[in-house]
Structures are given as structure tokens and as C-alpha cells.
């Protein structure tokens, strides 16, 4: 019967080990990021800087706009923001995109080289 007792102790120790593992390993605290790409109107390097600056708000870890393809790739925390919000931020800086259009007043205030319409 000694062997049985040892096996039971071994099982209990394993279960206890799992429990403490679960407690120190809270899955709700792990943040996952999402990357999405949207079309954003613009012309030049100045536009690039403006678009990326506008997109980099709370929850956005990476924003990169391409002058060549006119696409903005954003990496963000879906718990903090979403692509619609990011699109609105970019539009409020003067750049039309898939999610929102820039206000005419904001657009007219852009430097001449940046006016894409």
C-alpha cells in the first residue's frame, strides 16, 4: 500500500502545482495587438508625418503610412481603440480615409503640396 500512498501524494502535489501556476498566470492581463491596413489620402512626406502622428493615439503602438501605396498600417490594442476611431483621428488631421472624411476647413488649412483632392 506504500506505493499507492506515494502515487496519491504525487498527484496531490501536481494538482497543487497547477493551482499556483493558474494563480500567477492571469490570462486577462495578457494584451494582444491587432494590425489593420486602411487607405488614407495624402501626397508627400509631410503628409506621412501628419498621418502617422494623428494615428498614434492611445492604444496604438505602431503606425506607418506609405507615400507609394497610400495605405496606413496600424498596430493597436483592440481593448483600447479600434480602426474606426483611428480613422476619425486621421481625418481630423486633414486626411480622408476609408473610415472618415476630413472637414473642408481642416483640409483647406493643409499646406498646398498636401492638398490631394
Residues in contact with Cu ion by CB under 5 A are: 43-44, 46-47, 114
Q: Which is nearer to Cu ion, 12 or 44 (CB)?
A: 44
Q: Which is nearer to Cu ion, 17 or 111 (CB)?
A: 111
Do the beta carbons of residue 86 and residue 99 sit within 8 Å? yes
- Per DSSP, helices labelled H in the chain are 2-24, 45-55, 83-92, 104-108
CB of 60 to Cu ion, least distance (A): 21
CB of 17 to Cu ion, least distance (A): 59
Q: Which residue is nearest to Cu ion (CB)?
A: 114
Q: Which is nearer to Cu ion, 10 or 44 (CB)?
A: 44
Residues 6+ apart with CB under 8 A from 53: 93
Do the beta carbons of residue 50 and residue 91 sit within 8 Å? no
CB of 75 to Cu ion, least distance (A): 23
Amino acid at each position: 500500500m506504500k506505493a499507492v500512498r506515494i502515487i496519491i501524494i504525487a498527484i496531490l502535489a501536481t494538482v497543487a502545482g497547477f493551482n499556483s501556476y493558474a494563480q500567477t498566470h492571469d490570462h486577462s492581463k495578457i494584451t494582444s495587438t491587432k494590425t489593420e491596413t486602411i487607405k488614407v489620402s495624402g501626397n508627400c512626406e509631410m503628409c506621412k508625418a501628419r498621418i502617422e502622428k494623428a494615428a498614434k493615439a492611445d492604444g496604438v503602438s505602431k503606425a506607418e503610412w506609405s507615400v507609394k501605396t497610400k495605405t496606413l498600417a496600424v498596430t493597436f490594442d483592440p481593448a483600447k481603440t479600434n480602426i474606426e476611431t483611428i480613422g476619425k483621428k486621421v481625418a481630423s488631421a486633414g486626411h480622408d480615409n476609408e473610415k472618415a472624411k476630413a472637414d473642408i476647413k481642416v483640409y483647406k488649412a493643409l499646406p498646398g503640396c498636401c492638398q490631394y483632392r
